[in-house]
Amino acid sequence: MLTIGQLAAYVGVTVRAVRHYHQIGLLPEPGRDASGYRRYGPAAVVSLIRIRTLAEAGVPLSRIARMLEADAPAFAEAVRKIDADLREEIERLETSRERIARLAAGDSLALPPEVTSYLDRLREIGVTERMVEGERDGWILLVARWPDRVPAMMPGKLAQLDDPRIVRLYRVLSGAFESDAADDPRLEEAADIMAEMAEEAYASGETDFDEAAAQDDLPFDLMDALAVEADPRATRMLDLMRERGWARWTRMDRLPEPPSR
Amino acid sequence: MLTIGQLAAYVGVTVRAVRHYHQIGLLPEPGRDASGYRRYGPAAVVSLIRIRTLAEAGVPLSRIARMLEADAPAFAEAVRKIDADLREEIERLETSRERIARLAAGDSLALPPEVTSYLDRLREIGVTERMVEGERDGWILLVARWPDRVPAMMPGKLAQLDDPRIVRLYRVLSGAFESDAADDPRLEEAADIMAEMAEEAYASGETDFDEAAAQDDLPFDLMDALAVEADPRATRMLDLMRERGWARWTRMDRLPEPPSR
DNA sequence: TGGAGGGTTGACGCAGCGTCAGGGTCAACC
DNA sequence: GGTTGACCCTGACGCTGCGTCAACCCTCCA
């Protein structure tokens, strides 16, 4: 007759594990000796070995009891189920590994490479780091909403950077938000550029965003709010744009009627 | 300003998950509105997206906070660590899958194929199912102790089955233990055969078990006890063997002095 | 006879939420 | 103005497979 420690040592598990199997009813409680110690016979050793064999094969403890008393076809069916579960779990972990590998490679979190290279271009043309981070967060919001559509719109955005007015716009905004002035006059210039370009785009029917994006205001509301949160002076920009007949900032919409001034 | 449900929906997580992140301090608690509802600004949306990006890449929640504020080299190091953890976990699951595949293929649990084919041979020569199961459990005890050495000893055991006396022995024992008699005379015949063969083996120096097994009594004590547990009449067999000068049953040892009768 | 090294029960901790329970709030419709 | 359904709130337990105290008892050996 073995003590619990001897049993555990024979099978290669911890004492705690054996007691756990008792608790959940997987291994029957053996008799006790005079001093209350559990005493195990050889059949318990065999049972425990069989339990561990299944557990080490990835069978959840809750299913082991049923499997041990199953007949051959039921056993085979259970094995298939377990194996499918294991495969699924492995699958999930593999996906995680791919994702983390991409995280290690990319510049920033939660952004596809097309967007990070757009951000790099912004840095090159002299946009301040603070503003690039604001852009980045805006793109994060867009990508979360349309993970598949965003990469497709990046070539157009990159092309826009060839227009000297856009470059000028970004630089003017960078400067304005970097200064200490509460109401920098450069904001007016920026608003003029934006209104002009919005006018052109509107006239030619061009748009950065597709149908779905045009219906769904939330991401753009969030992006506008993000700018305001980052620098309250962004509110002023929104006002200036509204004066010029344009609602919003990050996706400009023509206001229904001339602004009341 | 978003409610928790809107925030969760935007990012694609559950409300409960967001609250969990608050609890563990991963996402800061936002301000409340007049009725006590949490209200989220766009920065919270971005934070949550970044958290989920890491979490979906397999980063434990407890490390996400540190990773989000890490610089590039520290981030890369953390990524290496996470990836190693993921690889290890996948490794473990793959091992489980191999094991369960082998379980599906084999006859019985916790036994190598060499042993299961030995058990099949026993069935072929007419050993009762009950006795085969007893043998199986005995082998389970041996394999648990010496997983590497057991397969090597199986060819010898299989060869023994070519000896008609062994076949006779198994059949006699099968019959004796299947009967209702408390003291079947066939047990004597079995004891005679075993003693005779033990004598031969002892004289020629042959042995089923190697050095290590000869030193370690526990598995054999357990196997003897297993037989007694399965059928108390096995005690009688042990007595008969002792009368003939042999201790134990499953690994016979010469008794130090002639039995006192 | 005392101390080391067993054994006993009971309870919390771990990861990442899911899922009640038992409330209050908001917006809309009758 | 009352009802309804969809949200929101906090608090707490559940899941998996044990690890790890805590506080106490038993056995064996020098």
**Residue that the structure tokens 């108390």 belong to:** B232
Alpha carbon B139 to its chain centroid, in Å, reads 13
Q: Which of residues 107-146 of B touch A (CB under 8 A)?
A: 109-110, 137, 140-141, 144-145
Kindly determine whether residue B104 and residue A79, on different chains, have CB atoms separated by under 8 Å.
Answer: yes
- Give B36 CA → D8 C1' in Å: 8
CA-CA distance, B45 to A189, in Å (whole number)?
31
Strand, coil or helix: A135? helix
pLDDT confidence bin for B261, thresholds 50/70/90 = very low
**Residue that the structure tokens 């753009």 belong to:** A220
The tokens describing A36, both together, are 């209350």
CA-CA distance, A230 to A218, in Å (whole number)?
18
Give residue A106's pLDDT.
Answer: 65
Footprint of strand C on the protein (CB under 7 A): A 3-6, 15, 19, 36-38; B 13-14, 16-17, 20, 33-36, 55, 60-62
Question: Which residues of chain B form beta strands (DSSP E)?
Answer: 246-247, 253-254
Give one word for A175, left, alpha or beta, with left for phi > 0 and alpha for psi -120 to 50: alpha
| Domain A1-61 class, CATH top level | mainly alpha
**Residue that the structure tokens 């029917």 belong to:** A205
CA-CA distance, B176 to B190, in Å (whole number)?
9
CB B37 within 8 A of CB B51: no
Q: How far off is chain B from A8, nearest CA to CA, in Å?
A: 12
Tell me the C-alpha to C-alpha distance, in Å, between residue A144 and each of A113, B67, B115.
Answer: 15, 20, 57
**pLDDT digit string (tens) for A73-97?**
999 999 999 999 999 999 999 999 9
**CA torsion A231→A236→A239→A240, rounded to 10°?**
-120
pLDDT confidence bin for B184, thresholds 50/70/90 = confident
Q: Give me the tens of pLDDT residue by residue for chain A, a chain 261 residues long.
A: 899 999 999 999 999 999 999 999 999 999 999 999 999 999 999 999 999 999 999 999 999 999 999 988 999 999 999 999 999 999 999 999 999 988 887 656 778 889 999 999 999 999 999 999 999 999 999 999 999 989 998 998 999 999 999 999 999 999 999 988 888 889 999 999 999 988 888 888 777 777 777 788 899 999 999 999 999 999 999 899 999 988 888 888 888 765 444
The tokens describing B182, both together, are 């408390």
Give residue B257's pLDDT.
Answer: 60
CA-CA distance, B7 to B43, in Å (whole number)?
11
Q: Report the percent of chain B where pLDDT is more than 90.
A: 67
pLDDT, average across residues B23-37:
96
**pLDDT digit string (tens) for B79-136?**
999 999 999 999 999 999 999 988 887 656 778 889 999 999 999 999 999 999 999 9
Give residue B259's pLDDT.
Answer: 40
DSSP symbol at A142: H
Kindly determine whether residue B103 and residue A54, on different chains, have CB atoms separated by under 8 Å.
Answer: yes
Q: What are phi and psi of B246, to 5 degrees?
A: -125, 130
Residue ranges of domains in chain A: 1-61, 70-105, 109-254
Kindly determine whether residue B49 and residue A226, on different chains, have CB atoms separated by under 8 Å.
Answer: no
Alpha carbon B183 to its chain centroid, in Å, reads 37
Q: By the CB < 8 Å criterion, does B58 face chain A?
A: yes
Give residue B217's pLDDT.
Answer: 86
CA-CA distance, B12 to A5, in Å (whole number)?
49
Element (H, E) at A153: helix A150-160
Give residue A261's pLDDT.
Answer: 40
Residue with the larger pLDDT of the pair B261 and B19: B19
Residue A112 CB partners (closer than 8 Å, separation 6+): A143, A147, A150, A151
Work out if A105's Cβ lies within 7 angstroms of strand D: no
DSSP bridge pairs for A254? A246
Q: Using alpha carbons, select from A142, A163, A133, A156 the residue that is nearest to residue A221.
A: A142
Give residue B260's pLDDT.
Answer: 45
DSSP symbol at A128: -
- On whether the B1-68 domain is CATH 2.40.110.10, my answer is no
**pLDDT digit string (tens) for A33-56?**
999 999 999 999 999 999 999 999
Q: Report the percent of chain A where pLDDT is more than 90.
A: 69
Q: What are phi and psi of A247, to 5 degrees?
A: -85, 150
